[in-house]
Each structure stands twice: as structure tokens, then as C-alpha cells.
Structure 1
């Protein structure tokens, strides 16, 4: 995405909207921040004026507008309804925020919108756009049947939805839905755990999406990168395994902490479902890399590769950083 004055203005407005939303002391102020964030992101989505981007921005606007109406309605109902019926309004408020961030079962718009965007906007949609709804949802989040159902739906839909995808952007969208379940669990345990998970998730997403963007990779059929060297392929392989949460890489660290806390709280069935579905997500991450390494013997050994080797080494070292961290945690 090419940055100019208008792009920087919209980006500043996007960040400001989220900051207003999470720092507001009233629900109306939070709603205003979310709307400011929404109206700043739509021009960024349709920057290149392609039909796919216009379709994605229209889908995003309609869904976010519906979620905003639900959010406003729930705020009014909380003030108007008796205390006995107040929790129904809270469910409506939570559902509106879940729809805004694309969590299952209100995820229907998320893969379609991701498919129409470039990688920079995909990164913003998967990371920054979730901060506001997540912080607001944390005010109403507790270990209830509703929350546990949403968590299980997120990890199951994120795992099964990515199995038959040939588009890498849709695959990353379902991966994001799966991670939402883990992040919601982290938020219910502790705000600090959610912050740790979210930061590691952002770093790993930036690593993976940087390689996808540099290689112009959008479909699984393109994933053999016949014009790139082994180092880039291995970097992507390690980063995606880390994003999937395979030990001993960095992505496993927050999941290990969450599993430990859930086991101490005797949520054994929830842990079992989350771990099993994570294995399925690891399977479709491996699908991306399968054809990549199958075509190694067809590459030209005399190509003059002009790649950013320092950046690739940094990306790989981020994922491998988890090995000493996990070793230190295991002996403490």
C-alpha cells in the first residue's frame, strides 16, 4: 500500500478512533471511537479502486453498521430494562462486539472481506481492528456458558474452515478466527495473558505476511516460489509453525500458559477441544509449505538472489526465540 498524505491522515484517524474507544468512560464514547475507526479504515481498504476492494469495503461497512446498531440497542436496553433481564442485553452487547471482530458464529463476513484486500490491509484487519472490540468485550467477559460456547465455536470453525481453502488470505482469516478463541480465553484468565498473546500474535503475523507480500503469494498453487531461495522458504516454514503454536517455537509460549491455567481451573474438556483443533490448524499450515519443499530440486542453482537477508534472519530468529524462553520456563 502506497502511503501519501491522505493515507497517513486515515491511519492517524484509525489509531485515534481505537484509542478513544478503549479509553472512554461511557459506552456512547466507546461507540463513537468504533465508528471513527470504521470510517477511517474503509478508504484505506478501497485505496487501489479495484472491484475486489470495493466489494470487500462494502461488505465490511454493512456488517460493521449492523454490529454498531446492535451495540447501540444493547446500550439502551441496559439502561431501560429491569435488573432481572439485564444479562440478555449484555449478551446482545457481547454479540455486537464479537461480530465486529469476526468471531464465530458471527464470522461469516471475515474470510470474504480478507479475500478482497492487499496484505497490508489484511494485517490491519487481523490485528489492530480487534483491539477496540476486545478491550470493550473484556468488561463483560466471564467464564459463562455463553463465553465458553463462543470460544469452542471459534477454535472449531477456525480449524475446519481452513481445511478446504486454496486462497492463502482465506486460510489466514480462518487462522485468525481460531486465534480469537485462544485470545478470548487468555482475556478471561488475565488481561496480562491476553496482552502477551496478542503481542506475539501480531509479531508472528507481521513475519508471515511480510513474506507473503514480498513473494506476491495469494494462492496455494503459487506456494512453490520457484524464483526464491531456500532461506525464504525455511523462514516462512518456521514462522508458520510458530504461528500455529508448535513447540518449541515462540507461538507455543502463550498457549502453554493458557493450557496450564485452564488445567488448574479444571476446564479439561475445553483444553482438549482447543488443543485438538490447533493440531488441525497446524495441518493446513503444513499444506502451504508442502509444495514449497517438494519443488526444491527444480530450482536453478545459478540465480542471483537479491533478497533482504538480514530481515529474513530477524524473522526466523523471532520464532526461534521461543526455544530458550520455553527452556527457562520449564526449569523455573
Structure 2
């Protein structure tokens, strides 16, 4: 992707647009940063393929709709002097447009379809970096009823939407929607909490997408016929998936653990139990992949297969997988000693 100098330039503009949005001191400059970010990401998405062109067009139309609603709401906020109308209607329009930009439910309809047409590198950018600016702006304008509805709907859709998927990109998209519900719940309680959750989620997603990218895996049936030459590679690959799902022995449980603690302290038990049940459904389809690949549809070849992957890629993959699998034990040990 970054062999092309124009792609590198657009990537730097993408980063600059996000930085403008999160460091802005007015809504208008935040909107300007979002637009710069959008117009820089569109050329990165286009890989001269039909699927990527369709995905970039869907992404542009959806984000342009959200940006126009956001700008219209900001103009209403500036022109209107009635504080009651401003707080009830205009802020709800701003909040809804930011939810649409981040891909949260009930405005999630574009996210899995766009993910399906992208490469793994662009999918990683869409799942991680492109959520920073909308989520940061959402944290400035939290509306309690709409935020609670979005948390509940995101957890339901992220859990149930991934049950019947065979494409790993759509599976990761619905998993991202489910993680968004946890980020919004963390945002409801603490600003630092959702940032910590987002950083941990970005690290785990980067490990998983890096693994899918170097092995060129796009569908579930490819997982069953991979790694005949190394059982350890297969174990680490599925440990990454289980860690992303939030299974307790792995690092992915740590951010969920923090959110569970904050929700318990703030006596939001209904939200906590509901989100935990929906997360168990996401763990179900991760466990279904793991169990099938390990137990039901696994056989070994009697001949050696030449590895076509670079050794430094394998070493980096093993190091990242080690931190994903045993990071919770390391963090617990540091907390115990210090």
C-alpha cells in the first residue's frame, strides 16, 4: 500500500484530519477535520478493483450524509438562540451524525458492506483509526437516552449479525460494532476508560488483521486448511481470535474487566448483564471457528509444505501473539508487585 508515494501522502493527510478534529476548539473546525479525513481516506480505499470502488462509493455517500447533517446541525446551533430547542433537537442531530460516522447501531448499515470490499490494511484503518475522531466528538456531547439505546443496539447487532457470516471481514465488522457498545458504555462512565479500551482493542485488532493479511485469509473455510506445518502457529492464531472476543485468560478480557468494574461501581447492573450476555454470543462464533478447526475438520499432511512467508513476519506474528495470549498474566503480575 505504501509503495506508492501518493498513498503515503494521503495517509499523512488522513492522520492530520483526525488530529485537527480531536484538537479543535469549535464544532466547525472539528467538522473541517472530519472532511479532510474523509477525502484523504477515499483514495486509499480505491485499489482499482470493482469491490474496492463500490466500497469507497458507499463509504463516501454515507459519510457525506453524516457530514451534511452535522454541518446543518451546527448551523442551527449557531443561528438559534432558544436554549431548550438547541439542547433537545440540535444536539441529538449532532449525536446521531457522529454515531453514523463511527458505525454504531442503529446507523451501522454501511459498515459491514464497506468492510467486505476493502483490503485488510484498509479494513484495519477503518476499524481503528477512523473511529478516533467521531468517538472523541461523541464524548463531548453525551446524551443519556440516545447513548443507552445505541449501546444496547450495538451489542445486539454486533452479536447476532456475526452468527451467520462466512466472510472474516464481515465477522470482524460485527465484532467491531459489539466492541463499540463497550466503548460507548465506558465513555458513559469515564473519558479515560474508553480511551484505554480503544487502545487495547486497536492492538488486538491489529494483531488479528496482521495475521489474516500475511496468510491471505478472507473466509472461514480457509482457516480449516491452514497451518498444517505448525500446530503452534494454529494455536496462536486462534488465541488471538479468542483474545479479541474477550475470553478471560487472554489480554482481551482486561479492557472488558475495567468496564465491568466501572459499571458495577456506578450501579448500572442491567446494562452490565445485557452487554455480557451479548458478548457471550460473540464468543460463541469465535469458539465455533476454533473448535471446528481444532477438532472436527482437522487433518495433517504427511509431506512438508514450504513456507512462502518471510521469517521476520513469522517472528513478529509470534511475538504479538504471545502478548495477546499472556498479556493479562503479565499485567496482573506487574500490578501485584508494584
TM-score when scaled to structure 2? 0.93
Q: Which residue is 1:261 aligned to? A: 262
Query: For the residues of structure 1 that align with 2:246 and 2:108, how far apart are their CA atoms?
Result: 22
Q: Which runs of 5+ in 2 are unaligned?
A: none
Q: Which residue is 1:317 aligned to? A: 322
* Secondary structure of the structure 2 residue equivalent to 1:321: helix
Query: For the residues of structure 2 that align with 1:63 and 1:16, how far apart are their CA atoms?
Result: 21
Question: Contact 2:2/2:8 (CA < 8 Å) preserved in 1?
Answer: no
TM-score when scaled to structure 1? 0.95
Query: For the residues of structure 2 that align with 1:118 and 1:200, how far apart are their CA atoms?
Result: 22
Query: For the residues of structure 2 that align with 1:226 and 1:27, how far apart are their CA atoms?
Result: 49
| Residue correspondence of structure 1 range 13-162 to structure 2 within 5 A | 13-46=13-46, 48-81=47-80, 82-86=82-86, 87-141=88-142, 144-162=144-162
- Give a deviation string over 1:239-286, Cα, whole Å, max 9, x none: 111111110211111111111111111111100110000000011112
Aligned alpha-carbon RMSD (Å): 1.8
- Give a deviation string over 1:177-229, Cα, whole Å, max 9, x none: 00001011112222221121111111101111111111211111211134552
- Give a deviation string over 1:2-48, Cα, whole Å, max 9, x none: 531101100000000000111111111111110000000000000x2
For structure 1, which segment, 301-310 or 154-163, has the greater mean C-alpha deviation from structure 2 after superposition?
Answer: 301-310
Query: For the residues of structure 2 that align with 1:3 and 1:27, how far apart are their CA atoms?
Result: 36
| Residue correspondence of structure 1 range 160-309 to structure 2 within 5 A | 160-226=160-226, 228=228, 229-293=230-294, 294-300=296-302, 302-305=304-307, 307=309, 308=311, 309=314
Question: Contact 2:69/2:94 (CA < 8 Å) preserved in 1?
Answer: yes
- Give a deviation string over 1:39-86, Cα, whole Å, max 9, x none: 00000000x211100100000000000000110111112223311112
Question: How many correspondences in the alignment?
Answer: 330
Name segments (4+ residues, structure 1) moved above 4 Å. Answer: 327-332
* Secondary structure of the structure 1 residue equivalent to 2:299: helix
Alignment CA distance shift 1:63-1:327 (3 Å): same
Alignment CA distance shift 1:231-1:305 (3 Å): farther
Query: For the residues of structure 2 that align with 1:28 and 1:54, how far apart are their CA atoms?
Result: 30
For structure 1, which segment, 55-64 or 257-266, has the greater mean C-alpha deviation from structure 2 after superposition?
Answer: 257-266
Query: For the residues of structure 2 that align with 1:227 and 1:264, how far apart are their CA atoms?
Result: 44
* Secondary structure of the structure 2 residue equivalent to 1:225: coil
Query: For the residues of structure 1 that align with 2:256 and 2:154, how far apart are their CA atoms?
Result: 15
Question: Contact 1:253/1:326 (CA < 8 Å) preserved in 2?
Answer: no
